[in-house]
Structures are given as structure tokens and as C-alpha cells.
Amino acid sequence: MGIPVGKLALYTALGGVRPSACLPITIDVGTNNEQLLQDEFYIGLRQRRATGQEYAGILHEFMTAVKQNYGEKVLVQFEDFANHNAFDLLAKYGTSHLVFNDDIQGTASVVLAGVIAALKLLGGELADHTFLFLGAGEAGTGIAELIALEMSKRAKVPLEETRKKIWLVDSKGLIVSSRKESLQHFKKPWAHEHEPIKDLLGAVKAIKPTILIGSSGVGRTFTKEVIEAMASFSEKPVIMALSNPTSQSECTAEDAYNWSKGRAIFASGSPFDPVEYEGKVFAPGQANNAYIFPGLGLGLVISGAIRVHDQMLLAASEVLAGQVTEENFKKGLIYPPFSNIRKISAQIAANVAAKAYDLGLASHLPRPQDLVKYAEGCMYSPIYRNYR
């Protein structure tokens, strides 16, 4: 229960969503953990995990009941579902309910914001860059898809074309078309023509990416050789080590700056202290989903949106990238300071709401004239009036 309670606390603290409008839920479908099944103090369901039709039935009953009880505009956030279930549930309910998966969409939106901000330091357009991912699960494929969508929107070329600028490496090596038959369905769009490559270093040398993104959950996989290779064909290699916690981060901030001779643009999923390299202090940015989901949630609520659309996620990313100042860039930051999060959330909410109105998905009519002001006015603040 700590997960949904904690997430909703952030919706309120960072996004100003009223606590009375939040309900934390955990769906217990049993466990296959023998130790827990034998533990007399285990408070969960003492039965094997439900799978297949039984699992789908439980989820369907829940989704139907939520909508019956709270109406069309209730926002359901999926969190911590296993890869295959997460994609299937999002595809199944995305067209009939207001649903959002933070592991897939929230992560993607915050990483895309970092990439858009990094373009100011790198120069060129999004489509001029080549991406390589280590990790092809929910986070990796979700980020890749949103980057491809943004690229397609900016360059006005089909999504199939922009996907070719993005390569993924999983536990078996580079995802290539000769592996297509054995791939899970969410990895198939990323299987491009190339000879098989077993390891990350080989993939980096062959693909020559300008942006390297880690979402593998395996620590220290961005080795000295990998970072040096990145720095050999890019003046400012972008290194995003997104896995949490710090022990599972693909590399540390210190490693990234030292091995690239202070040229890397670095961001991570875990917080790292500032790093000094040859007299210059670099402040590593943190690609934290909390930049996006509270504002996104507020925007959906204040517009009375009935569906979540990819265009809303792109709008949220663009707003977040636009909040990074020259001052931040000088320190090597590609995310704004967290101290401004309420203002950032209001801006994101306004832009998400604007997209909902533009796409005909908003039900709170008429459309407010000034959406930023409206978003700020709707935000809950835990400040009590003094009546004496």
C-alpha cells in the first residue's frame, strides 16, 4: 500500500490535487512466494497468483466498477504492473477509460523532456540524433515510442521512419530483425536490419549513438569503455542512467564526467551529488517522474478529460523542457530545480488541459480563458485560514 499512498501524496503535494479526490488501491491477486504463503502473519491473500483469464476477469471487474461508481472522468493510474500485463492493460483500457501507466508513460515523458532540453546544448534537431537504449522493458520501449512520436511530429515524417533512429539492446543483445520471431510484441517495432551484436559496447561502436539511455535495472553496465566510445564520436554525449536505486544505476555521475573528460550531459534516475572535474562543478539532473505525473493528473482533472492521449504527454514534456533556464544549462542541468515544482505542475496542467480541449476530450465547458491561472486556482494548498 505504500506505493499508491505515496504516489497520491505526491499528486497533492506537487500537483495540488485535492486529497479528498484521491483513493489508494492495491489489487491483491495472490502470491507465488512460498515464504509468504507459509508466514502466519502474512496479511495478503494466501493463494497462488491469479493469471490468464482469471487475472483479466479480476481487472475487468475492477475497471468496470470504478467507472460505474465514479463516472467517466475518474483517472486510474497503473503502477508497478509486470511488463506483459502493463502493455496489455494500457492497450485494452486506454480507449474506454481515463487510464495512465506511470512506468511506461510518465517515465517516457520525463525522459523526452530531458532529451528536448539537451538539444539546446547539443544543437541540431531531434531527428539528427541517434538513440541507443540498454533495457527494452516497459520503461525502455515506452521512452523510445514517445521520442519517436515527438520526432515524427517535429520532422513531419511517418512514425515507422523515426523509429529507425532508435535502437534497443536487451539481455540477448541488439534487437535486430533476425530476432523478430522470438521477440515479445512490444519489442517488435524496434527490430531493425543489422547483423546481431551480443553486447552493449559492440552496439555502441556499430550504431554510434549521440544519446545513450539506460533502463535495464542492472548497475554499472555503462563501463569506462562504453562512455569513452560515446565520447569518441560525439562532442557532448548524452548519458541517461535511469535505473533505481543508486546501486542499480548504469553508471555514477562521477564516472560519466570523468570518463568523458567533463563533456557528457548526464542525468540519472537516482540522485547524485555535484561532481567537480578540472575545476568545473557539474550538477547532475534527476529524471524523476514526479516532474510529470502530478501536473498531468491535475490537467486531466481540471479539464474533465475522458481519455489520455499521447499528444498530452508530448505537451507535458515540451513544457518541462521549456522550464530549464540558461543558468541551469551552464551547470550541465537538463531539468529545472525541484523547488519550482508547483509552478511547473501548473504549467504542465494548463498545457495538458489545452490539449484535452483541442482534441475534443475535455468535458468541463466552456474552456477557461487563461488555463495557467485556472490551474493555479484549482490547486489544493494545505494552508489553513486564521479566523482569529
Binding site residues for a divalent metal cation, as ranges? 79-80, 103
- Closest residue by Cα to residue 351 from 374, 326, 380: 374
Distance from C-alpha of 178 to C-alpha of 180, rounded to nearest angstrom = 6
Reading the block at residue 56, the C-alpha cell is 483479466
In angstroms, how far is the first alpha carbon of the chain from the final one?
A: 39
Residues 185, 148: contact at Cβ < 8 Å? no
Q: State the binding site.
A: 79-80, 103, 244, 288
DSSP 337-380: -GGGHHHHHHHHHHHHHHHHHHTT---S-SPPS-HHHHHHHH--
Reading the block at residue 299, the C-alpha cell is 490537467
CA of residue 222 relative to chain centroid, distance:
20
SS3 170: strand
Phi, psi of 81 (to 5 degrees): -85, 150
Q: State the binding site for (S)-malate.
A: 244, 288
Note the residue count of the chain. Answer: 388
Reading the block at residue 75, the C-alpha cell is 483517472
Residues 279, 331: contact at Cβ < 8 Å? no
- DSSP conformation class of 329: H
Which residues neighbour 374 within 8 Å (Cβ) at sequence distance 6 or greater?
A: 302, 350, 353, 368
